[in-house]
Amino acid sequence: MIRITLIGSGNVAQHLIKAFAKSELTEIVQVYSRKKETLSSLIEFDKITSDFEDLKEADLYIIAVSDKAISDVSKQLPFQNRIVVHTSGAASLDVLDSKNRKGVFYPLQTFSKNKDIDFSTVPMCLEAENTFDFRVLETAAKSISNVVYAINSDQRKALHVSAVFVNNFTNHLYQIGQEICEEHQVPFEILRPLIQETAEKINTLNPAEAQTGPAKRCDSLTIEAHLDYLSTQNQKNIYKILTQSIQNNGKKL
Ligand SMILES: NC(=O)c1ccc[n+]([C@@H]2O[C@H](COP(=O)([O-])OP(=O)(O)OC[C@H]3O[C@@H](n4cnc5c(N)ncnc54)[C@H](OP(=O)(O)O)[C@@H]3O)[C@@H](O)[C@H]2O)c1
């Protein structure tokens, strides 16, 4: 049984609390939250603390706070030589204070408090300073997910940047698509099956193989007509840069 203390009460902390609560291999000892009420529906009230000095002994401390607060929080922990990890894709291992044994417990998924997720499918990217600590992280990760990887800080940076492209930028393109539909009074819902199929194709084809459309076909007449039709300079700029990128496919510029 791995005894875990979570620090934070945001999106990731809340999903981790729910996931660990279902596991028989882990026990949540305590959760630190600046506002105790935030977590009152998720865990017994006497397990919530808002005072670092009250933290009890645990096998693993998971800091799931905003990236810019990780370093400060790790410095405030009133103990040493225990395993302390963060959950960030962007922060390096070294943002954690060296008085404890550092690690990373990064769930590569997009989490929102009010959207349930099947945690067993979330890839867990782990990093530790030694084999013993890695095994502790691995046991904790395997208790909630079927997909666990050893990923070092440099590899995690690559994954995080890639995730920005495949998740944040793609989602922003959905938003632009929605704006264009609204501007021309067409229901955005009509595009949902296309969005679904585009994502599903990646399960069987690599992205370059899956690409279709006017840019891939070098159909300059359609491209010019689209650029003419778009109403804002921002939409035109994004259209042009993505068209160029698709047409330069495979070439490193
Ligand atoms: N959301 C995702 O999709 C996702 C996915 C993978 C990894 N991550 C990583 O997971 C971590 C948490 O992200 P999140 O989305 O859960 O963030 P979030 O929902 O914005 O929550 C941030 C948490 O940090 C706490 N916090 C901020 N500053 C603090 C400080 N100075 N001292 C103590 N607590 C502080 C907040 O407390 P208050 O509520 O009191 O302000 C809140 O509990 C980040 O490192 C993020 O990069 C996020």
Q: Is there an atom of ligand 1 within 6 Å of 168 CB?
A: no
End-to-end CA distance of the chain: 51
89 CB within 6 A, ligand 1: yes
Residue keyed to tokens 């650029």: 227
**Cβ(244) to ligand 1 under 6 A?**
no
- Render the burial of 221-245: b for 16+ CB within 10 Å, e for the rest: eebeebeeebeeeebeebbeeebee
d(CA 33, CA 50): 5
Paired tokens of 47: 């397990």
Is residue 32 within 6 Å of ligand 1 at its C-beta?
Answer: no
pLDDT at 252: 62
Ligand 1 contact via 123 beta carbon (within 6 Å):
no
Instruction: Give the containing element (helix H, strand E) for 86.
Output: strand 83-86
- Does the CA dihedral 207-161-147-8 come out positive or negative? negative
Of all atoms in ligand 1, which is nearest to the CA of residue 111? 3
Residue 85's pLDDT is: 98
- Cα 196 to ligand 1 centre (Å): 29
**Which mean pLDDT values do the consecutive 10-residue runs of the chain (253 residues) have?**
97 97 95 93 95 97 98 98 97 96 97 92 97 98 98 95 96 98 98 97 94 96 98 98 90 64
Q: Which domains does the chain have, with CATH numbers?
A: 2-151 (3.40.50.720), 156-252 (1.10.1040.20)
Check: CB of residue 88 under 8 Å from CB of residue 64.
no
